[in-house]
């Protein structure tokens, strides 16, 4: 597989009008990855899409992004290959099919933002992106084409999970319902059951809203920030109601004493405050390391706050 020629895109794909993909195969690619899947390295992005055989030969002919119709056909073919690999237990094939779907989107967006798909000028300087340099490529990259197969299963999971949570919450409101035992509260404690059901239903509705945002093709950054801010708002509201208004029945802890309830209300407030830096980091496009540190650090501090409050 060394010194292999530059691959050609599918028959309906855009021709290479910018620099061709790099395909100087090193010895690490001189292998049949179906026979030796342990040699495959899963990574982010599209690395190896034009090198890993026999998957390149199986997927490349189906790949295209010249216009919306071409992209739709390519998506259907690639999704079919993905499902076939899944049924065969071929994880390498599944990841390679994912790469071609992702690559179709990124290539189409490159042409949509840069005339002729040329991101750099003759001097090597990056050109300013446009909205939109090529409407056909924008359509090819839209949520109805290359992003569709990657999100459809996620949307279904979100909708079904939300429905299960809301259904359980409504069923548990029935007086003396045995489902209340899942809340670890007495089956005849209507106030505690309502509080727990409210939390479950709110989470379920939140999942439905998230699914709607995905279907509406809302940018990921907006969805992420909105989700974090909504969570922060709920924590702050819960803390205020419990600590300042004495609404101890909103806590999922059965029959807390007043001091413990106030401490737990304070812990909920702390949890809300800890989420605000994460929202700011997501909105400003902070790197993965910063987001990870804020997420893990905030989670740890929140757990400590709850543990101390419930002692």
Q: pLDDT tens digits, residue range 177-223?
A: 888 888 777 778 787 788 888 888 989 998 899 888 877 767 777 88
Give the pLDDT of residue 12.
45
Give the pLDDT of residue 99.
87
Average pLDDT, integer, range 75-88 = 88
CA dihedral 152, 111, 5, 97 (to 10 degrees): 0
Share of the chain above pLDDT 70, in %: 80
Give the pLDDT of residue 166.
95
Distance CA 193, CA 227 (A): 26
Average pLDDT, integer, range 267-273 = 94
**Residue scoring higher pLDDT (4 or 269):** 269
Band of pLDDT at residue 291, cut at 50, 70 and 90: confident
Over the chain, what is the mean pLDDT?
79
**Residue scoring higher pLDDT (139 or 274):** 274
Q: Range with the lowest mean pLDDT among 15-24, 98-107, 160-169, 267-276?
A: 15-24
Give the pLDDT of residue 135.
65
pTM for this prediction:
0.51
Nearest to 51 by CA among 7, 114, 113: 7
The answer for residues whose C-beta is within 8 angstroms of residue 63's C-beta and 6 or more apart is: 9, 10, 13, 74, 78, 100, 103, 104
**Residue scoring higher pLDDT (141 or 259):** 259
133 near 115, Cβ under 8 Å?
Answer: yes
Whether residue 19 is predicted with pLDDT greater than 50 in this model: the reply is no
């Amino acid at each position: 597989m060394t010194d292999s020629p530059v691959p050609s895109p599918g028959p309906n794909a855009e021709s290479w009008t910018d620099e061709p993909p790099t395909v100087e195969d090193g010895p690490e690619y001189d292998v049949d990855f179906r026979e030796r899947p342990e040699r495959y390295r899963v990574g982010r992005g599209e690395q190896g899409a034009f090198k890993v055989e026999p998957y390149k030969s199986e997927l490349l002919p189906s790949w295209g992004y010249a216009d919306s119709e071409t992209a739709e056909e390519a998506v259907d073919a690639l999704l079919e290959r993905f499902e076939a690999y899944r049924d065969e237990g071929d994880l390498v094939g599944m990841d390679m099919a994912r790469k071609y779907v992702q690559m179709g989107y990124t290539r189409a967006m490159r042409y949509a933002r840069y005339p002729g798909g040329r991101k750099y000028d003759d001097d090597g300087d990056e050109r300013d992106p446009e909205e939109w340099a090529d409407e056909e490529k924008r359509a090819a990259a839209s949520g109805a084409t290359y992003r569709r197969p990657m999100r459809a299963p996620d949307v279904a999971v979100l909708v079904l999970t939300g429905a299960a949570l809301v259904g359980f919450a409504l069923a548990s409101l029935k007086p003396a319902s045995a489902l209340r035992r899942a809340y670890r509260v007495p089956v005849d404690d209507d106030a505690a059951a309502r509080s727990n059901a409210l939390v479950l239903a709110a989470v379920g509705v939140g999942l439905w809203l998230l699914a709607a945002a995905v279907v509406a093709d809302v940018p990921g950054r907006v969805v992420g920030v909105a989700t974090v801010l909504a969570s922060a708002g709920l924590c702050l509201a819960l803390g205020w109601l419990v600590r300042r208004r004495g609404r101890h029945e909103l806590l999922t802890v059965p029959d807390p004493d007043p001091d413990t309830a106030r401490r737990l209300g304070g812990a909920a407030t702390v949890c809300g405050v800890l989420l605000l830096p994460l929202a700011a980091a997501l909105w400003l496009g902070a790197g993965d390391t910063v987001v990870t540190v804020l997420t893990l650090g905030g989670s740890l501090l929140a757990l400590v706050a709850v543990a101390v409050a419930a002692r």
